[in-house]
Amino acid sequence: MIRSMTGFGKVTAELGTRTANVEIKCLNSKQADLYIKLPSLYREGENQVRNEISRTLQRGKIELSVWFESTGNERNVTINQAIILDYINQLKLMEPTIQMPGNEILLPLVMRLPDVIKVDKQDFDEGEWTKLFAAIQQCIGLVEEFRLQEGRSIEDDFKTRIRIILEGVTRIRAIEKNRIDRLRERMTASITDIMERIKVDQNRFEQELIYYIEKLDINEEMVRLGNHCDYFIETLNTEESPGRKLGFISQEIGREINTIGSKANDSEIQRIVVEMKDELEKLKEQSFNVL
């Protein structure tokens, strides 16, 4: 089962007096581009998170964000009353020389001064980190489920595109049966007009005609195109992370379709080739999003 590189997951976990929110967003990328935003308190766990994401999600542009919401019972900010009173007393000592404002104006000014607000520093809590890391792993699991669901849709789309391309090969084969005969007749009719005016070596003419018709033969290209399409489906069904390989196979499919178009020399075949190219471009776009 193939997986998309697009994914999303969100998990919340209760950590004492706080709620931790974990969110992961994934987009397609050629390699693993990780952007991890952890609260400063748990920065030392970043390597553990990075290794876990690289091991499980493997590839893509992956952004992990963790933020906390307080439940209201937490208290890690205090007002330093002693410093406030000291500031006010020192300011009042200046009252004989300058006119001091009233307390209703003085207090807001004092609250802006250094060390008035004290933030209690928290230490790394192993118990909280264990719960938070479990929530991150759960979020990664949700992303994997999302990727698998998207992968099923992409797989169905791949099979539809390949089927349409193979149907195009079948239609071309039906036209190909009479194409060479029509070319031979058209070239013989044209050379007959010339032969009435100049002498032409009939044996040499037949040799050149055979050589030219062989150059226009597209049977080999159609066989290879069919094989590439079969290989695409086989890779799709058997490999766990076939994204890059599917991209390479689609390039080979494109080469055969282009060669058929350039050698066909037939307007009806050219129309079918254009339809096949359109399906192939849609297939290539989807392959960029496969893990």
User: Does residue 243 surpass a pLDDT of 80?
Assistant: yes
Instruction: Give a three-class secondary structure readout of 112-130.
Output: CCCCCEEECCCCCCHHHHH
Q: Which domain holds residue 281?
A: 152-287
In this structure, are residues 260 and 213 in contact, taking their beta carbons and an 8 Å threshold?
Answer: no
Say if residue 102 is in the same domain as residue 39. no
Return the C-alpha torsion angle 229, 232, 234, 240, nearest 10.
-170
What confidence score (pLDDT) does residue 258 get?
Answer: 93
Q: What is the pLDDT of residue 98?
A: 67
Number of domains in the chain: 3
Same domain? 180 vs 107: no
- Residue 1 is which amino acid? M
158 shares a domain with 138: no
Q: What is the pLDDT of residues 163-205, one digit of tens each?
A: 999 999 999 988 877 776 777 777 667 666 666 666 666 676 6
180 and 164 in a common domain: yes
Cα distance between residue 82 and residue 246, in whole Å = 70
Mean of pLDDT values over 219-239: 92
Going by pLDDT thresholds of 50, 70 and 90, the confidence category of residue 91 is confident
Do residues 182 and 216 make contact, with C-beta atoms less than 8 angstroms apart?
Answer: no
Classify residue 242 by its DSSP letter.
Answer: -
Q: Give the pLDDT score at 84.
A: 81
pLDDT reported for residue 250 = 94
Mean of per-residue pLDDT scores for the chain: 84
- 16 contacts 130 by C-beta, under 8 angstroms: no
Please report which confidence band the pLDDT of residue 69 belongs to, taking 50, 70 and 90 as the band edges. Answer: confident
36 contacts: CB under 8 Å, gap ≥ 6: 46, 49, 50, 53, 63, 64
State how far the Cα of 192 lies from the Cα of 127, in Å rounded to an integer.
94
Pair (69, 88) in one structural domain: no
Residue 135 and residue 219 in one domain: no
Take residue 47 and report the two structure tokens written for it.
């390597």
Structure token pair of residue 66: 């963790």
The structure's pTM equals: 0.71
Q: Residue 267 is encoded by which pair of tokens?
A: 């307007």
pLDDT value of position 12: 93
Same domain, 68 and 139: yes
d(CA 35, CA 58): 14
**Is residue 1 a part of any domain in this protein?**
no
Q: Are residues 228 and 258 in the same domain?
A: yes
Give the count of beta carbons closer than 10 Å to the beta carbon of residue 190: 10
Task: Answer with the residue of higher pLDDT: 63 or 31.
Answer: 63
The Cα–Cα gap between 7 and 56 comes to: 13
- Domain co-membership, 281 together with 187: yes
State pLDDT tens for residues 255-274. 999 999 888 878 888 999 99
Q: Range with the lowest mean pLDDT among 26-40, 47-61, 192-206, 230-244?
A: 192-206
